[in-house]
Amino acid sequence: MFRESFRRNQHRLPARDMVIMVRREILEVEPAKIRNALDQHWNSIIKQCEKS
């Protein structure tokens, strides 16, 4: 799921190394919620990198 999310967004992301860390609780979260959260995080990363 994380890899697919990255692939869908990589053209928008800056050339930076990123580490994704997850907690065990993620196993209890619905996949749609995880995808939405990942999209929000990618958007946040993109906005932060545009400022620098």
User: Per-residue pLDDT tens for 1-52?
Assistant: 899 999 999 998 888 888 989 999 999 999 999 999 999 999 999 999 888 7
For residue 32, which of 44, 21, 40 has the smallest C-alpha distance? 40
Tokens of 17: 């190394």
* pTM exceeds 0.85 for this model: no
How far is Cα 38 from Cα 32, in angstroms, rounded to an integer?
A: 10
DSSP code of 24? G
CA 45 from centre of chain: 8
